[in-house]
Amino acid sequence: MRDDPERRTTRAAHPNTTRGSDRARDPGCTRSSPSARSRARALGASGALAATALALLVLAGSVSASAAPGAGVTVVAPYSGTAVHSESHSALGCASASAPNAPRFVLKTGVATMTEQGTATTCAKDNGTSLASADGTAGLSFVEPWNVSTGNGSNGSSSALVAHWTIDWTSSVTVSGNGTLRYALADTLVGLRITVVDLTANRTVGTASWYHDVQFNLTHGSQYRNVSRQVALALNAKLLSGHLYEITTEISGIVTTEVQGSGARTVTTTLNLATLGDRGVLESIDL
């Protein structure tokens, strides 16, 4: 069973299964969680992976909408143009990262799917520290001239652009094998973003983002969390009549697994956005 923003219910758990913590964050705030600090320590403070995970830089693309915005237009599926997908993996020590289901965005339906997975095993390398991270993206953008019939005209009219997403996903972690875990951390993150770029003036007008973090800390057994969210991601921007704008919306899935210890103890973290009803759906974009 899914949970919603007002009511959360969990499915029946296996005797060795417990629930993980579930934290929704304001993307305008800077995280400094143990997960973030450990990633920076293991991969280097300037590592591209840590920067990507914290900044949620997840998409670029180009498609064409069917109507000129600026007069209360709502864009819905089927979307025209080109869908963009990307994938980034990184591993340290005895670890691996993968995408059992590669990121995909379907223009006909607005459905985005992906499964990201990271596995880390304690071993003699890197002082017993292993870390894996998988980062997947899927989404679209469209380019249109802005048509302002009222307001400030060429001086810029204030407009609210809203991307409506429905997201269902499952975060899970499993510990297996023999050995001793001194430390184990599993983290999954789902993020959304909307960005407006003025192609005429060659500048970014504005960006709004949202993310939801599920973090686990365990040494045996398994944990899971399944989450449902309906997000209206709004961006207020002043747009100039006659200018050409690229409007982008995006979804990201990021998994990080880190272990420290001896022997061969394995922790596997999975973010499912692809099977058993789990997916992201771009319902519409209000212009």
Determine the length of the chain.
287
Residue 63 is given by DSSP the state: B
Tell me which amino acid residue 52 is. Answer: T
Alpha helices in 21-121 (DSSP H): 34-43, 48-55
Q: What is the pLDDT of residue 113?
A: 97
Q: What is the pLDDT of residue 19?
A: 36
Q: What is the pLDDT of residue 15?
A: 30
Token pair 């973003």 is at which residue? 193
Q: What is the pLDDT of residue 220?
A: 83
- Is the entire prediction scored with pTM above 0.85? no
Token pair 């430390």 is at which residue? 183
Distance CA 157, CA 249 (A): 21
Distance CA 47, CA 239 (A): 35
State in Å, rounded, how far the first CA of the chain is from the last one. Answer: 34
For 210-255, the pLDDT digits (tens) are 999 999 987 888 999 999 999 999 999 888 888 888 888 999 999 9
Q: Low-confidence residues of the chain, pLDDT below 50?
A: 1-69, 148-155
Distance CA 95, CA 113 (A): 24
Structure tokens at 158: 């204030």
Residue 200 is given by DSSP the state: T
